[in-house]
Chains A and B, each alone.
Chain A
Amino acid sequence: MVATALTPVHRLNDAGLDALRRYLEDLRQGSQAPPPHELLTDRRHAAPLVSECAVERRDFTSRLDAVRYLDGVLGGIAPDDEDVGLWSWLSLHYFDQVCPVRDDGRRHPGRDYRHILEPGYPHGHRHLVAGPFTVHRLHGDHARALLCSPLATENIAHHEIAARQSILTNRALVVAADRLYFDEARGRLKRGVQGSAREPGTLRRFIAVVQQLEVNYDLYSMTPEAIIGLLPREFDRWRPRQGTVSD
């Protein structure tokens, strides 16, 4: 892990957001320009937070690593989920990690909402910094199955679960998914999780089965164990072995 000097956290203003938007479009057009980090502290494009806090430009091993760090730095100021300027600033600050240079020598930013926050549904959870931060704020390390990928990558667990607020806000379901699909030894999702909704026991099947169970069961009021107990036999290979479950 490489740590560098601290940068006071700012908020991009409209001019800063426009500049970031132009940079993202330039990248999509083939530009190989480095991230415009000069915007981060330029008064024409960004304003410092009233409550002083600062971040290092460091390498994170995973989204979980990143949000644990940011929670420590930002926790005192209770950042707003919908603070477009703040989260976009953080994305720009960590741009080498949210949008690294690939083997073809280019960065591939994807849609703007991955870097410039569009609050709420349907795109708020897709922001590469705000999305995992929100998940971690809801569930802490219980959400490690959703946060075990690199900062630039939204893994299937995050993609499928964070997109459905009725599932994301249900701690028992998030913990159930963690117990089924997180490989503690390797610190990542188990192999085979990524199959389609037609394949038995995959995470997409879990989502489909949960949506069926919701017809008759109030999953919100149930424990993770009770939810796992309701799952059909196709999930047997994923069920935690007795004695290995931990809170």
Chain B
Amino acid sequence: MIRRLNFTGRKKIPRSRVRIVVHGDELRRTFDAELKLDGLELPAVAAVYVEAYHRSAYRRYDFGTVGRLGPPADRSLDGLPVASPLFRVKVVRQGRSIGRILAAAERVVPERADREDEQRQSLLPVEYQDLGERIWTLDLEADWPRLILNERFAGIRDFARSGPEFLTLVYPEILRTILTRIVRDPDLDPDSDEDDWPTLWIRFVRRELGRPRPPRSWEDGDPAAWVDDAVTAFCVRKHVVAEFERYLAGRGA
């Protein structure tokens, strides 16, 4: 896998120092940001910007300076086509004409104020859109994988969270798709950024499912076999077979 090296001196702002919470509903969404930039050896006069984005949609907010942080009054997320866009935080040294990025936090997944039970960083943020004839889809084209559920169905959120159909039939396939993307894409390096989604998913497989890290090369093993093994481990851990049997029994099958 390609290992990315930082030749630029740009610092990484640890994810633990950035907390973003999105408020509101479809009509009006805003966000709050808690930024802890002390101790990172950044100039007090360096400018701080927060950017919200989803694919090509983008908005930027001036948060003052490192030494004097201050959120702007307008923190609305109007114009961004998802409930929870990704965020990035930039610390910029403003020269006479050049603005050099001194430090940044990329692909920050916000918390949702209306989802107090999901305060940990979500591996798989969920969005709701009109998917026409489809019930769900997995978006792997944006900067962070998202599960998109069809908003036409009332109660689909709870159904996806705790329904046996999703647990047994959908989530194993989602896991397979994401892990396959990680092992096949040479540009995705789980070792390069401990806060990025490939690393977090590998960490999930290792810590939660007790499986080894993926093979680094074909000499080390078959990546497809590793994915299969991880999916099986997920099914075992979540008692998928028993759940499905219970579901069938409940339907009188």
Contacts and interface: CB of A to CB of B under 8 A. Distances in A.
Interface residues of A, number: 21
Contacts, number: 61
Interface in A170-198: none
Interface string A194-232: 000000000000000000000111111111011001100
B49 interface: yes
A226 B101 contact: no
Given A120-B57, A165-B57, A166-B53, A226 B90 contact: no
Interface in B2-55: 8, 10, 47, 49, 51, 53-55
Interface string B93-120: 0100111110000000000000000000
A218 B97 contact: no
A163 B56 contact: yes
A225 B97 contact: yes
The contact size tier of chain B is 20 to 34
B55 A122 contact: yes
A169 B81 CA distance: 16
B55 A217 contact: no
A223 B54 CA distance: 26
Given A120-B81, A215-B101, A225-B97, A220 B60 contact: yes
B155 interface: no
A221 B60 CA distance: 11
Given A120-B81, A216-B10, A218-B49, A223 B97 contact: yes
Interface string A112-127: 0000000011100000
A125 B119 CA distance: 35
B49 A121 contact: no
Contacts of B92: 218, 221
A166 B101 CA distance: 16
A217 B58 contact: no
Interface string B57-98: 111100000000000000000010100000000101010011
B8 A215 contact: yes
B244 to A, nearest CB: 38
Contact of A166 (B8, B10, B58): B58
A173 B55 CA distance: 19
B101 A216 contact: yes
B56 A222 contact: no
Contacts of A169: 58-60
B231 to A, nearest CB: 32
A83 to B, nearest CB: 14
Contacts of A165: 53, 56-59
Most chain A beta carbons < 10 A, residue from B47, B49, B59, B79: B79
A163 to B, nearest CB: 6
Q: Which 9 A-B pairs have the closest CB atoms?
A: A218-B99, A221-B99, A226-B97, A165-B58, A166-B58, A218-B92, A121-B57, A120-B81, A216-B8
Given A215-B8, A218-B49, A220-B49, 10 more contacts: A121-B81, A165-B57, A165-B59, A169-B58, A217-B100, A218-B47, A218-B101, A220-B60, A220-B99, A225-B97
Interface of A: 120-122, 163-166, 169, 215-223, 225-226, 229-230
22 contacts: A121-B57, A121-B81, A122-B56, A164-B58, A165-B56, A165-B57, A165-B59, A166-B58, A215-B10, A216-B8, A216-B101, A217-B100, A218-B90, A220-B99, A221-B94, A221-B99, A222-B97, A222-B98, A222-B99, A225-B97, A226-B97, A229-B97
